[in-house]
Every structure is written in structure tokens, then in C-alpha cells.
């Protein structure tokens, strides 16, 4: 390839919703409402899990951390998306693009592990209730949360360095609403096979393995619940797991479908819809799922509103 088409100092351009020029203001309003709803909804979950004494249990400790993670996850992409929609300017520097992708992947990996930790918490609570407080003591819970946050950081930094060390072609137009793996690889002029292989390995290690662990926990949970003699006991046990299971389904199905595509089979429209779904819709509906399906959360929320 002609050296004149290679970039030295790269500035990317996020195309975003530029193919929908008449809907820019409308989309700005929609995503602004969604982002504010994510902040308020997840913020309330954090507040009530910290303030209400009845929610000082491992399950709600994980839920509060999960809500904080959802705020971070949405903040990586949505504010930038809102700025681009408002200014009609999708220019982003290489450093800003690399930073956005780095934090996006770190938070995504953290979510995978934290969902697996929450599934393990439910497994211990239902399958080993007499040992629950011994196994899930506070120090263990803190260790599991910290481990979820830091496990993927070295690998992600290595992957980001690998991707952004490659040469990029002019024009560097990224056909996505934020810097994601495959849209960035598409504007590279170098051989991306090693980067794609690294992405597949990371998906297996940090998404599929936690997903298998979650499935294993729920197989054991369901097997135990079905042995309960009373229908009321079975119903109560299922209700404590249904919210988490719904969140797991929403996040993992869309995330794995997105990142197991190859560069050649990559669909711009499909990735845009899926990425918006698991970066915006999932953090938006999580507080609703946990609030509507959890009587303790509803009661704590009522107490907070009365105060």
C-alpha cells in the first residue's frame, strides 16, 4: 500500500448516526434521557444498599457495586455520543479513542466477572445456606469485587497497545458510535489477524468462561430448588435469582454475539444495534429489573422516599 495513505499522527472520525442527519436532535434527546435515567436509577440502588440496614448483606453489597459499574460502563460511551450528536462533529484523537476502548473493555470484563460472582453468591445462599455467612464474609466479598475489577486490566492494556501500534489508513472513519474493537480494526492498514486472535482469546477467557461458571451455578441452584418440598419455598428461591438471570441473559447474549464476529463477517448495522443495546439499554433496565422483582429493594426505596 502507498505510504502516502498511512497515518503517522492519527485522528479518527466516528460516523455515529451521520447517516440519519434529520434525527440527530431527536436521538440526542433520547440518549440524554436514557443516560440521566441510568445515573438516577443506578444511583438510587447504590444509595439504598448503603443507607438501609436491612440491605447490609453480601447480595446487596454486590448489587451496589454492580450499579456503580453500570454507571461507569455507560459513562464511557454515552457522554461522547451525546457531544457528537449535539455538535455534529465526530472527530476523536488516537489517544482519546484508545482510552475509550481501554476503559470500555475493562468495564465489560469487570461486568462479566461480577455477574459470575453474583451467581456464586446466590449458589451459596440457596445450596449452602448454613455456611452462607461463613463463606461470604465481608473480606471475601471485598476480595471478589476487587478481583473482578483488576483481573482484566493487564490483558486489556496489552490488547490496546497491539491494536493501536498498527498503521491506520486515511481516511480513518470509524463506522460506529464509539471506539469499539472491530470498527477500529477495519480502518487499519496492517495485518489484523493477530489482533483478531487476541480478541477471540480474550472473549473466551473473560466472557465465555464466566458465562460457563454462571451456568454451572444456576444448574446447581435449580437442581437444589426443585428438591424443596414446598411450592412457596421454591417460588421464593426462584424470585431471588430471576432478576440476576435476566440481567445475565441481556448482557452476555448481545456482548458475545458482537465480539465473536470476524472482521470479514462483521456487520456494521448489527454491531451498532448490539453495542448500543448492551452499553445503554442493559444499564438502563438493570435498576428496573432489580427493583420490580425484589420486595426488599422496593421497601427500602419507599423508606428513602418517605424520608
What count of other Cβ atoms lies within 10 Å of the Cβ of residue 67? Answer: 23
pLDDT value at position 196? 83
Give how far Cα 194 sits from Cα of 125, 156, 161, 190, 263, Å: 42, 15, 12, 10, 12
Q: Which CATH class name applies to 3-306? A: mainly alpha
pLDDT value at position 155? 92
What count of other Cβ atoms lies within 10 Å of the Cβ of residue 164? Answer: 19
pLDDT value at position 166? 86
What residues of the chain score a pLDDT lower than 50? 1-8
Q: Is the pTM of this model over 0.75?
A: yes
pLDDT value at position 67? 92
- State CA 188 to chain mean position distance: 26
Within 13 Å, how many C-alpha atoms sit on residue 237's CB side?
Answer: 24
As given in the structure block, the three cell numbers for residue 190 are 496492517
pLDDT value at position 199? 84
Whether residue 177 contacts residue 17, with contact meaning beta carbons closer than 8 Å, is answered with yes
**Phi then psi for 229, rounded to 5 degrees?**
-75, -30
Rounded distance, CA 297 to CA 52, Å? 9
Amino acid at each position: 500500500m502507498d505510504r502516502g495513505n498511512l497515518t503517522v499522527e492519527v485522528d479518527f472520525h466516528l460516523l455515529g448516526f451521520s447517516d440519519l442527519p434529520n434525527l440527530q436532535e431527536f436521538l440526542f434527546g433520547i440518549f440524554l434521557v436514557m443516560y440521566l435515567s441510568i445515573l438516577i436509577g443506578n444511583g438510587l440502588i447504590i444509595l439504598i444498599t448503603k443507607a438501609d440496614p436491612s440491605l447490609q448483606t453480601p447480595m446487596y453489597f454486590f448489587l451496589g457495586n454492580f450499579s456503580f459499574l453500570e454507571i461507569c460502563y455507560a459513562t464511557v460511551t454515552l457522554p461522547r455520543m451525546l457531544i457528537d450528536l449535539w455538535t455534529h462533529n465526530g472527530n476523536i484523537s488516537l489517544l482519546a479513542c484508545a482510552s475509550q476502548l481501554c476503559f470500555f473493555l475493562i468495564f465489560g470484563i469487570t461486568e462479566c466477572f461480577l455477574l459470575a460472582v453474583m451467581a456464586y453468591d446466590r449458589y451459596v445462599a440457596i445450596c449452602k445456606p448454613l455456611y452462607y455467612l461463613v463463606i461470604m464474609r465481608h473480606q471475601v466479598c471485598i476480595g471478589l469485587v476487587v478481583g473482578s475489577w483488576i483481573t482484566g486490566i493487564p490483558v486489556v492494556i496489552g490488547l490496546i497497545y497491539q491494536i493501536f501500534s498498527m498503521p491506520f489508513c486515511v481516511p480513518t472513519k470509524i463506522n460506529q458510535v464509539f471506539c469499539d474493537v472491530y470498527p477500529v480494526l477495519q480502518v487499519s492498514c496492517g495485518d489484523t489477524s493477530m489482533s483478531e486472535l487476541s480478541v477471540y482469546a480474550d472473549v473466551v477467557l473473560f466472557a465465555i468462561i464466566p458465562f460457563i461458571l454462571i451456568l454451572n451455578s444456576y444448574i446447581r441452584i435449580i437442581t437444589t430448588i426443585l428438591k424443596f418440598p414446598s411450592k412457596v419455598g421454591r417460588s421464593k428461591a426462584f424470585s431471588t435469582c430471576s432478576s440476576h438471570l435476566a440481567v445475565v441473559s441481556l448482557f452476555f447474549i448481545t456482548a458475545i454475539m458482537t465480539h465473536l464476529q470476524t472482521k470479514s463477517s462483521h456487520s456494521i448495522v448489527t454491531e451498532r444495534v448490539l453495542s448500543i443495546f448492551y452499553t445503554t439499554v442493559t444499564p438502563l433496565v438493570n435498576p428496573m429489573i432489580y427493583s420490580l422483582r425484589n420486595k426488599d429493594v422496593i421497601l427500602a426505596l419507599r423508606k428513602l422516599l418517605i424520608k
